[in-house]
Amino acid sequence: MGEPLLRTAAVITVSDGCFQGTRVDGSGPLLARLLTESGFTVVCTVVVPDEIPTIAAALRASAKSASLVVTTGGTGLAPRDVTPEATMEVCTRMVPGLSELMRLDGAKQTPLAALSRGVCGTVKQTLILNLPGNPAGAVASLRTVLPLVPHALDLLAGKTEHAEPLES
């Protein structure tokens, strides 16, 4: 069967428009559904404006109740795209390989993926992933790294024993 460990997740949508009610959150609900279908219990979903202190506060609060926190939005080059800055303020360690993998895979779909500034990192036993705001890009990015997340969460939880290498 699946992992005996309870996997918890939080989804944070970073968007002035969604926060103000002038735009519909297209990414957050799709990410929550994908996480649920992948065996996670989504413990919270929240929409915040593009403000570093507010994003950082949402990340800290979500990290207290979830082993995985995904953000969507605010990773581009626009002046108010500040999700990476808030994430770097909160995280104690960065995990650049996950961000690189998402951009590499995203570039197969659109050259615009290279403009994403999303970062990934950890705070205590929680993994934080910055995903694009575009719904298709957010889902594709999460799907790209999702196979690695259970092992990452195990490592963060202190489960550092490795499987025996396969015999050839």
pLDDT in tens, 128-162: 999 999 999 999 999 999 999 999 999 999 998 76
Domain-located, residue 145: yes
- Res 164 pLDDT > 80: no
CATH code, domain with 119: 3.40.980.10
* Cα distances (angstroms) measured from residue 47 to each of 2, 25, 43, 106, 147: 31, 8, 14, 24, 26
Domain-located, residue 133: yes
Number of domains in the chain: 1
User: How many C-beta atoms lie closer than 10 Å to residue 144's C-beta?
Assistant: 18
| Mean pLDDT computed over every residue of the chain | 93
Domain-located, residue 2: no
**What is the per-residue pLDDT for 160?**
86
Least Cα distance to 142 among 19, 8, 28, 14 occurs for 28
Tell me whether strands 40-48 and 7-14 are parallel, antiparallel or unpaired. Answer: parallel
* DSSP-assigned beta bridge partners for residue 131: 72
For the chain, what percentages of helix, strand and coil (3-state, to nearest 5) are there?
45, 20, 35
Contacts of 66 (CB under 8 A, 6+ apart): 8, 9, 10, 43, 44, 126
- Res 23 pLDDT > 60: yes
Confidence of residue 4 (pLDDT cuts 50, 70, 90): very low
Report percent pLDDT > 90 for the chain: 91
pTM of the model: 0.92
Domain-located, residue 127: yes
Once rounded to an integer, what is the mean pLDDT over residues 3-23?
87
Domain-located, residue 99: yes
Domain-located, residue 85: yes
Contact, 71 vs 132, CB < 8 A? Answer: no
For 110, the domain range is 7-156
Q: Convert the pLDDT of each residue in 65-110 to its tens digit.
A: 999 999 999 999 999 999 999 999 999 999 999 999 999 999 999 9
CA dihedral sign of residues 19, 48, 72, 37:
negative
Domain-located, residue 134: yes
Domain-located, residue 13: yes
**What is the per-residue pLDDT for 3?**
41
